[in-house]
Amino acid sequence: MSKVVNAPSRLLNKRNWVIPASCVILFLLFLFFSDSLFLRKPPQTPLPSPPDLVDLTLLTDSQDKGALCLDGSAPGYHFSRGYGSGSDSWVLHIEGGGWCDSISSCSFRAGTALGSSKHMERRVLFKGILSPHPSENPDFYNWNRVKIRYCDGASFSGHPDTEPKGNTKLYFRGQLIWKSIMDELLSAGLSSARQSLLSGCSAGGLATLLHCDEFREALPKGADVKCLADAGFFLDEKDVSGNRSMRSFYHNVVQLQGVHKSLHRDCVAKKEPSDCFFPVEVIRNIRTPVFLVNPAYDFWQIQNVLVPLKADPTRSWWRCRLNIQACSPNQLEILNGFRGSLLKAMDEFQKSSDGGLFINSCFIHCQTWYGTTWHSPTSPRINNKTIAETIGDWYFNRRRPVREVDGEYPCNPTCINMDFT
């Protein structure tokens, strides 16, 4: 049985568990032995000082509001108040962690930190885009910083109408969780924000895109509000066996949790609702400025969208899907085709005047949450700019346009590439 980590589920049918076994390895080893996972070794980080650790706050009156995690417990978030020049500025980061597409997978998830606050850490380390250190987070270190915990399994978009009846009790309250947490943060000072950035990683990146305009509408009209999705641009692509497993999986998630009610009405009126859950459709209707950070060789998508285990019965892709350096020339050609599909899906977005891009050629997944990849001496760079510097340039209009796109692997020597072997 797989354990749960902060990476999207590769489980692309009703009988699968919620999180891929490879991501279990990533989570456990990254936390405790992270140096060994990188092909290019990152620097040692010092033990966290008190400002880095932030307590969990459970949502007030969650039962009365109907805003409940999958198991019925109260949702939560971690909040570090800003100071000085950042006292009226806010950066929010939505946690990732996949989705559940069946009663069994949601029931399993309800017994983990991705479905219940009973299992969440009471304190988390703020790093990357939420770091309190100017050397690690030059533009947002003294802003009000919030990490929103993810416990609904549908990118904060589920509705209770489709909750199962009978002995199995699950709560599909993603949209209510989103609204209730926003209401609580608005009352804590977000309602008077001068600047704000809504961000998220993986399934949290998709949630960021889905709720971006709602977030903008909740803030003062004069506020500078933008959104950042990290590794959240999931593709509707055929796998190496010719099947569209991701499309089938998203269809099940949308049907199970009534997600169609949270999707853009114009899209749902024209297309199958699950199609409107894919970012390529979501971004077509977003009016708020958006920045997309995505590795062209996103290991989660390679391992679960392009080469899911069931599409590789002979295990000919086994080494390649664990370590991009082990890919054959033919396999690299297929990976480059996947990269081409990503860039093609972003064609329309690249024409927007206020959108931004950072697409590097790294074999990695989320990059804004980890200090090593966000902004450090060994962070991935494009045109000698870290992700943090590039997003800062975009958010504060220091240059235009801000669209950084790498060439094909292995063009970027600054990449941090994950090695699961």
What are the start-end ranges of the E strands in 224-281? 224-230
Active site residue: 199, 298, 375, 379, which one?
298
Start-to-end CA distance of the chain, whole Å, equals: 20
Active site residue: 202, 245, 262, 376, which one?
202
The H or E element that residue 78 is part of is strand 76-80
Active site residue: 180, 365, 376, 379, which one?
365
- Residue type at 247? R
- The verdict on whether 202 is a catalytic residue reads yes
Q: How many residues in total does the chain contain?
A: 421
387/166 Cα distance (integer angstroms):
48
Angle formed at CA 156 by CA 158 and CA 359, multiple of 5 degrees: 130
Taking Cα atoms as reference points, which of 258, 256, 257, 276 lies closest to residue 267?
A: 276
87/83 Cα distance (integer angstroms):
4
3-state secondary structure of 168: coil
404/109 Cα distance (integer angstroms):
37
- The verdict on whether 262 is a catalytic residue reads no
Q: How far is CA 366 from CA 199, 232, 319, 381, in A?
A: 12, 9, 21, 15
- The verdict on whether 298 is a catalytic residue reads yes
Catalytic amino acids?
A: 202, 298, 365
